[in-house]
Structure 1
Amino acid sequence: MTFLNQKYQSLTPYTPGEQVDETEFIKLNTNESPYPPAPKVQKAVAEAAQKLNRYPDIAWSSVAKPFAAYLGVKEDQLFLGNGSDEVLAYLFQGFTEQGIAFPDVTYGFYQVYSELYDVNTTIVPLKADFSIELKDYDELTGTVIFANPNAPTGVYLSQQAICDFLERHPNRLVVVDEAYIDFGCTSMISKITQYENLFVVGTFSKSRQLAGARLGFGVGNKKVIADLNRLRFSLNPYNINALTQAVGSAVLQEQAYVNQTIQKTIDVREWSKQQLAALGFEQTDSQGNFLFVKHSQISAEALFQALRAKKILVRWFNQPRAKDYLRITVGTQEQMRVLIKAVKKILTEVTS
């Protein structure tokens, strides 16, 4: 017997990356930062804990004010969410009446939210090189959403290509999910005022080391932000808890530290690309904090299992176009050296 509404009984939920004891495993499977939060962030948690008897600020002022200034936008152009997933959920719930379109290889939550909110969905295949061709969306209607750089491929779509599409379709909402934009790409946030139909989603999870705090954001015209707040106040006005607001505010005072860790990630990513290429891996030119790779002499599933046996976790997606690839989070230099050494040994074993 089940009490669940029948329309949800066939819902396929999102499958997050495996969480494990990091004293036993090298964790390269969930695109978290391998670096600890900045010093002020750790201190802010202890201080905020003294006031947990009070509800958090519904206007998120300690984060929204400095973050809007950092982004170069107005506060009424900024929305904060309990992770970027909450922002995405509101967008699928409230801004897809005319349907939505997104790539066939992309962030898995798009499909989940489409089913959850019963959205008329069009899935558009990526090109053979895993790039997004926005002309393929021209004949469709409704909202468009894509991750940029895309996940799990890491392929980046130029700002100009997005602007051209926005100009061709001024009456369609275009959502650009920039979870990985900080790792060497150009954000669309500077174009928010120019294009009323543009909405940018981001997160503090990746480049700011706050995956555990759950803090995401959206930037768009003030009418869209007002409508998002209408949904928020109808469900959960206190969506950002006091501890998260405290650490969000603190990390904005630690931009030098954030910049250092971003550069470390970029440097290690490029080093890892070279090492894997030398081992015969085919890979995309990922611009995220992860790699998307395959090898002709071993299946992705077999390599995934072999690495797991060596206590190294990566991500394998059992999906038609992605099943031959592994997504590998860029860890520290030492972690990636261990990975490369393990891969070399595995390849030697399968080719001998």
Structure 2
Amino acid sequence: MTFLNQKYLTLTPYTPGEQVDEQEYIKLNTNESPYVPAPGVQEAVAEASQKLNRYSDIAVEVVAKPLAQYLGVKQEQLFLGNGSDEVLSYIFQGFTEKGIAFPDVTYGFYQVYSGLYQVDATVVSLNEDFSLDLKEYDELKGTVIFANPNAPTGIYLSQEGICEFLERHPDRLVVVDEAYIDFGGKSMVSLIDQYKNLLVVGTFSKSRQLAGARLGFGVGNTELIADLNRLRFSLNPYNVNSLTQAAGGAVLQEQAYVDQKIQETIQVREWSKQELTKLGFEQTDSQGNFLFAKHPKLAGETLFHALREKKILVRWFNQPRTKDYLRITVGTQEQMERLIAVLTTILEGVDA
């Protein structure tokens, strides 16, 4: 017997990356930052922990004010959520009445939320090289959502291509999920005043070292943000807890540290690309904090298990178009050197 509503019995939940003891494993499977938050962030959280007897600020002022200033927008153009996943959840719940379309190889939660909210979803195949062609969406109806740079491919779509689509379809909402934009490409946030049908989603999880804090945001015209808040206040007005607010406000005062770690990640990413190429890997030109690579001599599943045996975790997606690829989070230089050394040994065994 089940008491669950029948319409949810076929729902396939999202499968997150495995969490393990990092004293035993090198963790390159969930696109987290390998760097701890700046000391000022840790101090702010410790101080905020003394006030947990009080509800959090529903306006999230300690984050909203400096974030709006950093992004160059008004506070009323900014929505804050419990991770970008919550922001995306509200979008699927409230802005997909006419359906939604997204790529076949992309962030898995788009498919999950379509099922959860019973949305009419159209999945559009990426090109053979995993690039996104928005012209494929011209004849469809409803909202369009895509990650840029995309995950797990890391491929970036230029502003020009996005703007052309926005102009062709002013009556359709376009959601650009920019979880990885700080590692490559140009954000669409500066164009929200120009395009009323543009909604940009971002996160503090990747470039700002706050995956465990759960803080995300949406940026759009004031009407879009007001509607998002209508949903939030109808469900959970205290959605961003006090410790997360403290962490988010503090990290926005540590931009020099954040920028430094972004540059380190980019440098290690490019070094890793070169080393993988030397080993014979084929890979996309990832602009995220991760790599997407396959080797012609070994199946993705085989490599995934071989690395796990050596205590290195990466992500393998058992889907037809991606089954031979591994998504590898960019770790520290030391971690990536270890990865390359282990891969070298594995491949030597194949060639022997």
Structure 2: gaps (5+ residues): none
2:210 matches 1:210: yes
Deviations 1:50-95 (A, max 9, x none): 1000000000001001100110000010000000000000000000
Name the CA distance, whole Å, in 1 between partners of 2:5 and 2:349.
51
Question: What does 1:165-244 align with in structure 2 at a 5 Å threshold?
Answer: 165-244=165-244
Name the CA distance, whole Å, in 2 between partners of 1:79 and 1:152.
25
Deviations 1:170-209 (A, max 9, x none): 0000000000000021000000000000000000000000
Name the CA distance, whole Å, in 1 between partners of 2:246 and 2:293.
38
Whether the 8 Å contact between 2:149 and 2:184 is mirrored in structure 1 is no
2:317 matches 1:317: yes
Question: What does 1:212-291 align with in structure 2 at a 5 Å threshold?
Answer: 212-291=212-291
Name the CA distance, whole Å, in 1 between partners of 2:126 and 2:351.
32
Name the CA distance, whole Å, in 2 between partners of 1:144 and 1:351.
45
Name the CA distance, whole Å, in 1 between partners of 2:329 and 2:245.
27
Deviations 1:111-132 (A, max 9, x none): 0000000001100000011000
Per the alignment, residue 35 of structure 2 pairs with 35
Indicate the SS of the match to 1:35.
coil
Name the CA distance, whole Å, in 2 between partners of 1:41 and 1:2.
44
Root-mean-square deviation over aligned CA pairs: 0.4
Deviations 1:263-296 (A, max 9, x none): 0000000000000000000000000000000000
What TM-score comes out, normalization by structure 2 length?
1.00
Deviations 1:223-246 (A, max 9, x none): 010000010011000000000000
Question: What does 1:16-165 align with in structure 2 at a 5 Å threshold?
Answer: 16-165=16-165
Name the CA distance, whole Å, in 1 between partners of 2:4 and 2:349.
49
2:328 matches 1:328: yes
Name the CA distance, whole Å, in 1 between partners of 2:114 and 2:283.
29
Q: Match of 1:211, as an amino acid?
A: A
Whether the 8 Å contact between 2:294 and 2:300 is mirrored in structure 1 is yes
Name the CA distance, whole Å, in 2 between partners of 1:260 and 1:73.
24
Per the TM alignment, residue 324 of structure 1 is displaced from its structure 2 partner at its CA by: 1.1
Q: Match of 1:232, as an amino acid?
A: R
Indicate the SS of the match to 2:146.
strand
Name the CA distance, whole Å, in 2 between partners of 1:112 and 1:129.
25
Name the CA distance, whole Å, in 1 between partners of 2:293 and 2:46.
41
Name the CA distance, whole Å, in 2 between partners of 1:288 and 1:184.
6
Deviations 1:308-347 (A, max 9, x none): 0000000000011111100000000000000000000000
Whether the 8 Å contact between 2:149 and 2:180 is mirrored in structure 1 is yes
Q: Match of 2:223, as an amino acid?
A: K
Indicate the SS of the match to 2:319.
coil
Q: Match of 1:111, as an amino acid?
A: Q
Number of matched pairs: 352
Indicate the SS of the match to 2:259.
helix
Q: Match of 1:172, as an amino acid?
A: R
Per the TM alignment, residue 351 of structure 1 is displaced from its structure 2 partner at its CA by: 1.8
Name the CA distance, whole Å, in 2 between partners of 1:196 and 1:339.
45
Per the TM alignment, residue 169 of structure 1 is displaced from its structure 2 partner at its CA by: 0.2
Per the alignment, residue 305 of structure 2 pairs with 305
Name the CA distance, whole Å, in 1 between partners of 2:299 and 2:314.
14
Name the CA distance, whole Å, in 2 between partners of 1:121 and 1:107.
14
Indicate the SS of the match to 1:291.
strand
Indicate the SS of the match to 1:162.
helix
Name the CA distance, whole Å, in 2 between partners of 1:326 and 1:310.
16
% same residue: 78
Name the CA distance, whole Å, in 2 between partners of 1:295 and 1:66.
44
Runs in 1 of length 4+ with deviation above 6 angstroms?
Answer: none
Per the TM alignment, residue 39 of structure 1 is displaced from its structure 2 partner at its CA by: 1.0
